[in-house]
Amino acid sequence: MKRTSFKEEGVNAREFFSFYRWFKSYVKGFYQGKTKEEQGIIALKEKHTLRVCQEIVRIGKELGLNLPQLFLAKTIGLFHDVGRFEQYEKYGTFRDAHSENHALLSVKTIKREKILQHLPLNIQEIICNAIMYHNVRLLPKGLSPEMEFYSKLIRDADKLDVFHVFVMHYERPLSSKSTIELDLPEGNGYSFAIINDILNNRISDLKLMQCKNDMKLMLLSWLFDINFLPTLKEIRKRGYVERIISYLPQTEDIQKVKRHLEKYLQGDHSGLAEINKE
C-alpha cells in the first residue's frame, strides 16, 4: 500500500475567496463581444472549473485533509484550467495540439497576473506544479510528496468532472458545435490501439484519437489513472463507465472492453494511493 505523508500548511478561507473573486471577474471579460454559442462554450469551462473545486474538496475530505489543505486543493481546482479562456479566445479550440498546452498557459496567466504573490513560496510552487502536471499523460518521478499528492488530487477531480461533462454531452447534446469533442470527426470506427490499452489497464495516448468514438474510449482508459479510492467510488456510483459505453457501437470489441472495465471496477484497488498526514 502506498502512503504519502506531508506536513505543509495550505491556504486560508480569506485568501481563497479573494482568488475566487479574481477568477470571476477575469472570466467575465471573455464573455464580452462573443456570440451566444461562444458564450455557451466559455460558460462550460467556467462551470467545469467550479465543479472541479467541489469535486476536489469532496475527495480531499474523504482523504482526511484539514481546512487549509482543502482550501489549497480548491485553489488548484480554481486555477487549473484558467488558461482555457485565453486558449479559446486566441485559437478558438481546446485542442492543445492545435494551439498550446493549456496547463502551461494557466501557470503563465497566474504568474503574469501575480495572483499568488502573497502566499508562501512553497505553497505557490505546489499550486503551479499541480496545475502544470494536471494534464500530462504520466506524472514525472521524483516529485516531493506534497507535489505528487496535490497533482494526483487535481487529476482525479478533473477527470471526475470531465466524465460528467461528456456524459451530459452524450445524453443531452445542447450544441451542434463539437468544440467539446475536440472537433473530432464522426464515424462508426474506433482505434484498436486504445482498446488494447484499456485491456492492458493502461491510460491511452491522446495522439491515438481519430474520431468521436476514440474520445469515448480515451475517457474509459482514464479509469487506470485514477489515484484515490473515493474517486473510483464516485465513478462507480454515478455509472459513468456504463453510460459512456452505451454510446459506443455495440460490437464484440466493445463488449470485451465493457466486461474488462466492470471487472476492474469491482476489484479491491488496495494499491491505490492513500495519505498519511502524520
266 contact partners, CB below 8 Å, separation of at least 6: none
The 10 Å Cβ neighbour count of residue 61 is 12
Nearer Cβ to Fe ion (150/190)? 150
- To Fe ion, the closest distance from the beta carbon of 159 in angstroms equals 10
Distance CA 98, CA 273 (A): 34
Nearer Cβ to Fe ion (81/86)? 81
Distance CA 198, CA 195 (A): 5
Instruction: Calculate the CA 43 to chain-centre distance.
Output: 17
Nearer Cβ to Fe ion (81/214)? 81
- To Fe ion, the closest distance from the beta carbon of 98 in angstroms equals 15
Provide the angle, in degrees to the nearest 10, between the axes of the packed helices 121-132 and 67-79: 50
- To Fe ion, the closest distance from the beta carbon of 256 in angstroms equals 30
Are residues 162 and 192 in contact, defined by beta-carbon separation less than 8 angstroms?
A: no
- To Fe ion, the closest distance from the beta carbon of 165 in angstroms equals 11
- To Fe ion, the closest distance from the beta carbon of 227 in angstroms equals 16
Closest CA to 85 of 37, 147, 148, 39: 39
Strand partners, 3: 274
Nearer Cβ to Fe ion (78/254)? 78
Q: Report the residue closest to Fe ion, judged by CB.
A: 81
Nearer Cβ to Fe ion (81/197)? 81
Catalog residues that contact Fe ion under the rule CB under 5 A: 81
